[in-house]
Amino acid sequence: MWFTSDPTFWMPAQASNHAALVDNIYYFLYWASVISFVACMFAGALFVLKYRAKNINDKALSQVDHSTTLELTWTLPVFAVAAVAFYFGVMGFVSMKTPPDDAYEVNVTAYKWAWAFNYANGHTDGNLHIPAGVPVKLTMSSDDVLHSFYVPAFRVKQDVVPGRYTQAWFEVTEPGEYQIFCTEYCGTKHSEMLAKVIVHTEDDFKKWLDSVGNILDRLPPEEAGKMLMTQRGCLACHSIDGAKGVGPTFKGSWGTTRKLADGSDQVMDENYVRQSIMEPQSQIVAGFPPVMPTFKGKLEDREITAIIAFIKSIK
């Protein structure tokens, strides 16, 4: 069963260099478990049926109550299976934790409730774009609470911890799209902190990287703003169609007056938006939780201008 890289009943398709390795140990344990479980339960059922008391006063056929030989005999296979699993588990783990020196590096920031993948050319994206056939190393940190980067198809998982870096690496052979989950509980929209790994061929990846650089120069500000807000996860909480989210919707919001949590009124203008991006907790709209992370130092001035242009355009 484990010679296939296609999805099976138990495991999703194998898409990274780690996957076959993990699956081999998984299926080793799986068959060891199935065999020992069936053997034990079969023996148990057999004994229960065969030695059932017919008369309540029937004595047991034997009162033998110990055998050191027997104890050792069944301890040994347990040890053996454990030793094999331990050995391969450690070998696999070490290789998963040791990125090659020539790996392509992407910086990852996790925050409630989105991912930011940061490339050397300054571009930040909400999905992870990587080239196929090249080892990729992620250096990750969180801005707020614990998150965890998980791609089932890669068999890769690593917690993303605030105040420190953690790392993960993998190499994907075939281009395609794969699901990223957050697997460390992080609050309200933990289950919607999803993203995709988009694996390009090496050439396509280069083209993509060039095309996403300098969007501010290439696109009109409204479109650049929309791209930025999608990539940075703003739209995960603020809808643009009027739906109620964790934060207020942007639909038709520009220029309106809103009530803040401290009771004062505030017009939705440039200053307000800028302030809310830099210091979100300072002017919370009444009725919404104070959960937005700050983007201070993460968005350039020009980028904020583009975002404002986009918000203005949502009628």
Partner 1 sequence: MTADAAHIVSSRDDTYLNHTKGLLSWVVTLDHKRIGLMYLLSTALALCLGGVFALLVRTELWGPEENLMSHDVYNQMFTLHGAVMVFLFIIPSIPAAIGNFILPIMLGVKDVAFPRLNLASFYIYVVGAIFLVTSMYLSAIDTGWTFYTPYSSSAQVGSQSAVMSSAMGVFILGFSSIFTGINFIATINTMRPKGMGWFNMPLFLWAVYATSIIQVLATPVLAITLLLLTVERAFGLGIFDPALGGDPVLFQHFFWFYSHPAVYIMVLPAMGVISEVIGTFSRKRIFGYKFIAMSSLAIAFIGFLVWGHHMFTSGQSKLASMVFSGLTYLVAVPSAIKVFNWLTTLYKGSIRLNAPMLYALSFIWLFAIGGLTGMFLGTLAVDVHLHDTYFVVAHFHYVMVGGTVMALFAGLYYWWPKFFGRMYNETIAKVACLLVFIGFNVTFFPQFVMGSQGMPRRYYTYLEQYQPFHQISTVGAYILGFGILMAFAGLILAALKGPKAPDNPWGANTLEWHTSSPPPFDNYASQPEATDPYDYHALVFDEKIGGWVKVEDAPATGGEA
Partner 2 sequence: MSIPALLGTFMGLIFLTALTVGVHYGVDLGGKGNLIAAMVIATMKASLVLAFFMHLVFDKRYNFMIFATSVLGVVLFISIAFTDVSQYEPMVQQRQADLAKAAEK
Name which of residues 39 to 98 contact partner 1 (CB under 8 A): 40-41, 43-44, 47-48, 51-53, 55-67, 70-71, 74-75, 78-79, 81-83, 85-86, 88-94, 96-97
Give the dihedral of Cα atoms 8, 9, 11, 15; nearest 10 deg: 30
Q: Is 128 helix (H, G, I), strand (E, B) or coil?
A: strand
Q: Considering CB distances under 5 to 8 angstroms, the limit depending on partner class, which of partner 1, partner 2, none binds residue 243?
A: none
Residue list 45-64, contact with partner 2 (CB under 8 A): none
Q: Does 1 bind partner 1 (CB under 8 A)?
A: no
**Least distance between partner 2 and beta carbon 141 (Å):** 6
Query: What is the residue type of 259?
Result: K
Q: Does 101 bind partner 2 (CB under 8 A)?
A: no
Sequence length of the chain is 315
Residue located via tokens 């800028």: 274
54, 66, 164, 315: residue in contact with partner 2 (rule CB under 8 A): 164
Binding residue count for partner 2, defined by CB under 8 A: 7
Q: Does 121 bind partner 1 (CB under 8 A)?
A: no
Q: Does 165 bind partner 2 (CB under 8 A)?
A: yes
174, 262, 289, 296: residue in contact with partner 1 (rule CB under 8 A): 289
Q: What are 20-28's contacts with CB under 8 Å, separation 24+?
A: 21/92, 21/95, 21/155, 22/92, 22/155, 23/155, 24/88, 25/85, 25/88, 25/89, 25/92, 26/2, 27/1, 27/2, 28/84, 28/85, 28/88
Closest CA to 109 of 98, 119, 100: 119
Kindly tell me which of 127 and 141 has the beta carbon lying closer to partner 2.
141
User: By the criterion CB under 8 A, which residues form the site for partner 2?
Assistant: 141, 163-167, 297
